[in-house]
Amino acid sequence: MDANRLKGSHFPKYIVLQAVYWYLRYSLSYRDIEELMQERGVEVDHATIQRWVVKYTPMIESNFRKKKQPVGKSWRMDETYIKIKGAWYYLYRAVDKDGNTIDFLLTEKRDTKAAKRFLIKAIENNGLPEKITIDKSGANKAAIEEYNEENNTSIEIRQIKFLNNIVEQDHRGIKRITKHMLGFKSFDSASGTLNGIEMVRMIKKGQFNTKGNSHQNPAEIFYSLAP
């Protein structure tokens, strides 16, 4: 395969990656990026850019996960709303006390079962926390209690709203990017795109282990993760 092209694309690799990065990093629609590309002499349809995001983002995120920096043991857990085809879904998220992103999960429902699914995913990817701060959500509290009972663990639960402001404020970074996306058309495309947005935010937060390449800016790190 041509090293200057991504598999399945007729466009140069740097063009594809730049379009995907812009979409995941900035408050832009696919048509905005189509226009920006045209200004740079690249004729590409917004539907093609959408296919690039859906196809290549999971590959890049998979490579990012392999070198994600460890997070702290004190977590803040919460959920926010995401609209898909006119209906509200729920994005479970957690950050540590320093604001580093721990994990995230898009779900159809907001209940104990969904919260527990998120908790299991976060622990499998990041290890067991010592404590988790939540708001007054009974579902989140029940999910942690069930996990403790089933796994013989002793995660401390703190229901202190002002301590959870860190994760609530962090939601705004996701909302800022998604508000100009004109709505997601399917659960799968929403989930994949949100994974990419979260990944780019983690890169910007410095959560990628550069191993001596600390001079790289976020965009360069993103491009380096392409297959």
Residue-wise pLDDT for 119-147, tens only, equals 999 999 999 999 999 998 899 999 999 99
171-192 average pLDDT score: 85
- Helix 165-178, helix 187-204: angle, nearest 10: 120
List residues bridging with 78 in a β-sheet.
Answer: 93
Task: Delineate the domains of the chain, giving CATH numbers in brackets.
Answer: 13-67+208-224 (no CATH), 74-175 (3.30.420.10)
Whose structure tokens read 């994974």?
195
Cβ–Cβ under 8 Å, residues 61 and 196: yes
Q: The whole model's pTM is what?
A: 0.90
Confidence check: pLDDT of 179 > 90: no
> Residue 8: pLDDT band by 50, 70, 90 thresholds?
low
For residue 77, report the phi and psi dihedrals to the nearest 5 degrees: -120, 135
58-63 average pLDDT score: 93
Distance CA 90, CA 48 (A): 28
Q: Closest Cα to residue 131, out of 151, 114, 153, 150? A: 153
111-120 average pLDDT score: 97
Give the ranges where 26-137 is alpha helix by DSSP (H). Answer: 30-39, 46-65, 112-126
**Tens-digit pLDDT profile for residues 188-203:** 989 999 999 999 999 9
> Residue 167: pLDDT band by 50, 70, 90 thresholds?
very high
Whose structure tokens read 């659960």?
187
Which range, of 18-22, 162-166, 170-174, averages the lowest pLDDT? 162-166
Confidence check: pLDDT of 11 > 90: no
Cβ–Cβ under 8 Å, residues 29 and 50: no
Confidence check: pLDDT of 2 > 70: no
Q: Residue 203 has what DSSP assignment?
A: H
Predicted local confidence at residue 1, as pLDDT: 38
- Report residue 223 as tokens: 């491009």
In terms of phi and psi (left: phi > 0; alpha: psi -120 to 50; beta: otherwise), the region of 212 is: left
Q: Closest Cα to residue 117, out of 146, 88, 96? A: 146
